[in-house]
Amino acid sequence: MKTVFITGANRGLGLEFCRQYLKQGWKVIAACRHPEKANALIDLTENFALDIYPLDLSDEKAIARVANHLEGKPLDLLINNAGVYGGSPQDLAHCDTAHWLQTFQINAIAPAKLTQFLLPNLRLTDGAKIVFLTSKMGSMSDNGSGGSYIYRSSKAALNAIIKSLSIDLQNDGIAVAALHPGWVKTDMGGPNGLINTEQSINGLREVIEQLSMHNTGCFVDYQHKPIAW
Ligand code: NAP
């Protein structure tokens, strides 16, 4: 049985990742800020191999605690999914510095730290993979409309981290990818999103399945379409 660790697992894309991997027979380690309130996840524990851990990504000690609990347990896949938009409006005149730093912490620094802490678990598995839910909005090439300073800059920072990891983990045989899920109807994507979570995660699971050391370091969307950095 393969094991996947998923952050932000209580709602949106993270919850759909959990549902689909569980149905595929994987063991899922789901992390979220408030497991006691994660009713959709709790329901899934009745029929599936699902463990739920508390994890607020803004708390580095909490990241270390989860890693301690998992010491010696092999992981096949780490999905760094949790993220925030960082509030609005995000025109330059209204970007609050504290908000901006907090968004950097959650969207860029925390996924890097979590990855660092879980590397020993990933190194226990042949062909382990690490993926990050980033966004086209972190792409320089794709930015045709400006604005969204907080979100764009936090995802651009994440993209730089992903690229470095894909190089640094080559000797470990761990493949790394930057994933854009599409514009999805979730709390973050809003009701005008173009696709639902099921469509996005169906596509992203296939992309992850095809991720290997041959295409490590790719930046692709849920339909395998490459995105320019
Ligand atoms: P969502 O519905 O807003 O869910 C965000 C998830 O992140 C929630 O589980 C939330 O937990 C968790 N989270 C936020 N702050 C956290 C923290 N400090 N510690 C731990 N967990 C935290 O968003 P989504 O649409 O599913 O997005 C998932 C990922 O896809 C994000 O990285 C997002 O940037 C990316 N993305 C989404 C879209 C889209 O159209 N939806 C497009 C491009 C990229 P709580 O419930 O506790 O807040």
| Structure confidence by residue, pLDDT tens digits, 50-109 | 999 999 999 999 999 999 999 999 999 999 999 999 998 999 999 999 999 999 999 999
Share of residues in the chain with pLDDT > 90 (%): 99
- Asked if 164 contacts 158 with a C-beta cutoff of 8 angstroms, the reply is no
Which tens digits make up the pLDDT trace of 105-158?
Answer: 999 999 999 999 999 999 999 999 999 999 999 999 999 999 999 999 999 999
Helix or strand or coil: residue 174? coil
Mutational pocket test of ligand 1: of 61, 137, 186, the residue with most ligand atoms within 8 Å of the beta carbon: 186
CB atoms under 10 Å from CB of 61, counted, come to: 7
Confidence class for position 27, pLDDT limits 50, 70, 90 = very high
Residue 104 phi/psi, 5° resolution? Answer: -60, -45
Nearest to 59 by CA among 78, 82, 87: 82
Nearest to 52 by CA among 60, 162, 40, 159: 40
Residue 171 CA to ligand 1 centre (angstroms): 31
Distances (CA, A) of 176 to 20, 23, 44, 144: 20, 24, 28, 27
Residue 40 CA to ligand 1 centre (angstroms): 16
1 vs 9: CA distance, rounded Å = 20
Alpha carbon nearest to ligand 1 atom 44, residue: 135
Which tens digits make up the pLDDT trace of 155-207?
Answer: 999 999 999 999 999 999 999 999 999 999 999 999 999 999 999 999 999 99
Residue 200 phi/psi, 5° resolution? Answer: -60, -50
142 vs 101: CA distance, rounded Å = 24
Q: Kind and range of the H or E element at 158?
A: helix 149-168
**Which tokens is 84 given?**
């925030």
Residue 25 CA to ligand 1 centre (angstroms): 24
- Asked if 13 contacts 181 with a C-beta cutoff of 8 angstroms, the reply is yes
Distances (CA, A) of 169 to 28, 114, 129, 137, 163: 23, 15, 10, 25, 10
Active-site residues, by number, are: 151
Alpha carbon nearest to ligand 1 atom 3, residue: 188
- Asked if 175 contacts 211 with a C-beta cutoff of 8 angstroms, the reply is yes
Burial class (CB in 10 A: 0-12, 13-18, 19+), 56: middle
- Asked if 12 contacts 79 with a C-beta cutoff of 8 angstroms, the reply is no
